[in-house]
Amino acid sequence: MDDLQKRTWAEVSLKNIRNNYKAIRSALPRGCRFLGVVKADAYGHGALPVSMMLQEAGADYLAVSCLDEAMELRQGGITMPILILGHTPPRYTQTLIENNISQTISCFAKASEYSEIASKLGKELKIHIKLDTGMSRLGFLCCKEHYEEGLKNVIEACRLPGLIHEGIYTHFAVSDEEGEENEEYTREQFKLFISFIEDLGSKGDIHFEIRHCANSGATINYPEMALDMVRPGLLLYGYGDTKGKLGLKPGMRLVTTVSTIKIYEPGTSVSYGRRYVTDKKERMGVLAIGYADGLPRISSNKCSYAVSGGFAPQRGSICMDMCMVDLSHLPQVDVGSEVEIFGEENSIYKLSEAAGTIPYEILCAVSKRVPRVYKD
């Protein structure tokens, strides 16, 4: 562990993530299941350790985006149900079945391919039907003029042999964004989802054990949409509760160290492109983190990082493996001092906004070469 902490590392607090899980869970209606989204290596936090923690804590389901991510969990000893949210080529149907992995079905053609293979094997594949109620991404089309055809397709897909239709879900486009228009759009998506499910029941006698639609945004903003299961990702990792209802804490703290400190005369240009020039005598630290570690280069000259006693503004272009910070007003910061790029002291939103992006992208971008250090 100590060796890992010499340059740059990502401290992951499984305790914070567990507390986040408990806080989200305790706000759910009775009987509502909890699916933890652990795709993209649990948003950079480490899919296996996070999943192990969730399994032990009593979560009901996990979701990943592809078969490789699901297999990593199965091979690591995760036994709880796993749903693949994205596409799996039908030739892997047997792998899905043998590993008890549930597959999203987003159109009839794929349903029939999975069905054919499962039937030949004499086995059954668990599926969750995905409806496109307004995200315009994966899913059976079901809005307006597509409604009737959508119903017919889903009913036929669910009647295919070799498939167990355990769940049905949809995904919101703006459940995490404020404003009347966004609220209206989200409510429309929800209404369509519910009426479609009712019609599947009344017209096709097709019923589902698990109806789910709430991502983080809906889990926090529309508790009435929890249905049989919620499906948060971001909240679990400590972000997205903008009103602070649940007291969530960040799961990750990205930390680097000061490798060198130099004093520059006024008028000295710093880093590639000479995009920063000192205007006084400046005490400049070189940090052991760059864009190859996941620090967005576009945030060059726009952010500051937490050090003991304050914040150090980042100066000049961020390089591949290093970047510079002004420590003139922070004499207590020395070579070897720790610098928090984001974490509890320094909100990730500062960095994501400086980079013109969202915390999701910052978390997923923390690269492979940054060791994850688990605190508990």
- Least Å distance, CB 37 to ligand PLP, is 4
List helix spans (H) across 205-306: 216-221
Is 246 a binding residue for ligand PLP by CB under 6 A? The answer is: no
Which is catalytic among the residues 6, 152, 203, 272?
272
Is 216 a binding residue for ligand PLP by CB under 6 A? The answer is: yes
Residues 39-68 that bind ligand PLP (CB under 6 A): 39
Looking at beta carbons only, is 80 or 121 nearer to ligand PLP?
A: 80
Q: CA–CA separation, 114 vs 107, rounded Å?
A: 11
| DSSP assignments along 147-181, one per residue | HHHHHHHHHHHHHSTTEEEEEEEE--SSTTS-SHH
- Among 215, 278, 299, 317, which residue sits at the site for ligand PLP (rule: CB under 6 A)? 215
Looking at beta carbons only, is 22 or 203 nearer to ligand PLP?
A: 22
What is the phi-psi region of residue 77: left when phi exceeds 0, alpha when psi lies from -120 to 50, beta otherwise?
Answer: left
Note if 272 is an active site residue.
Answer: yes
Q: Please name every residue paired with 223 in a beta bridge, in sequence order, or none if there are none.
A: none
Stretch that binds ligand PLP, among 13-21, 91-99, 227-235, 308-316 (CB under 6 A): 227-235
* Vertex 234: Cα angle to 341 and 55 (nearest 5): 110
Looking at beta carbons only, is 163 or 234 nearer to ligand PLP?
A: 234
Q: Which helix (H) or strand (E) holds 72?
A: helix 67-75
Looking at beta carbons only, is 37 or 327 nearer to ligand PLP?
A: 37
- Among 171, 211, 253, 372, which residue sits at the site for ligand PLP (rule: CB under 6 A)? 171
What is the phi-psi region of residue 91: left when phi exceeds 0, alpha when psi lies from -120 to 50, beta otherwise?
Answer: alpha
Which is catalytic among the residues 21, 39, 43, 276?
39
- Least Å distance, CB 46 to ligand PLP, is 16
Handedness of CA 17, 19, 22, 23 (dihedral sign): negative
Looking at beta carbons only, is 72 or 338 nearer to ligand PLP?
A: 72
- Least Å distance, CB 216 to ligand PLP, is 3
Is 81 a binding residue for ligand PLP by CB under 6 A? The answer is: no
For residue 228, CA distances in Å to 19, 91, 359 come to 22, 31, 28
- Among 134, 167, 233, 285, which residue sits at the site for ligand PLP (rule: CB under 6 A)? 233
Note if 147 is an active site residue.
Answer: no
Residues 2-41 that bind ligand PLP (CB under 6 A): 37, 39
Instruction: Name the nearest CA neighbour of 278 among 268, 286, 292.
Output: 268
CA count, 13 A, side-chain hemisphere, 72: 21
For residue 353, CA distances in Å to 11, 350, 356, 361 come to 22, 5, 5, 11
Q: Cβ-count burial of 50 within 10 angstroms (0-12 exposed, 13-18 middle, 19+ buried)?
A: buried
Looking at beta carbons only, is 35 or 117 nearer to ligand PLP?
A: 35
Is 232 a binding residue for ligand PLP by CB under 6 A? The answer is: yes
- Among 85, 101, 258, 366, which residue sits at the site for ligand PLP (rule: CB under 6 A)? 85
Looking at beta carbons only, is 136 or 332 nearer to ligand PLP?
A: 136
- Least Å distance, CB 227 to ligand PLP, is 13
Is 103 a binding residue for ligand PLP by CB under 6 A? The answer is: no
Stretch that binds ligand PLP, among 146-154, 196-204, 220-228, 232-240 (CB under 6 A): 232-240
* Vertex 270: Cα angle to 267 and 273 (nearest 5): 110
Measured N-to-C along each axis, helices 47-57 and 14-26 cross at an angle, to the nearest 10 degrees, of 40
Stretch that binds ligand PLP, among 74-82, 225-233, 305-313, 320-328 (CB under 6 A): 225-233
Stretch that binds ligand PLP, among 230-238, 249-257, 297-305, 322-330 (CB under 6 A): 230-238
For 307, phi then psi, to 5°, come to -130, 175
DSSP E strand stretches across 237-342: 252-264, 269-270, 276-277, 282-287, 304-307, 310-315, 323-326, 338-342
Looking at beta carbons only, is 32 or 323 nearer to ligand PLP?
A: 32
Q: Please name every residue paired with 63 in a beta bridge, in sequence order, or none if there are none.
A: 37, 83
Binding positions for ligand PLP, rule: CB under 6 A: 37, 39, 85, 171, 215-216, 231-234
Give me the active site residues, please: 39, 272
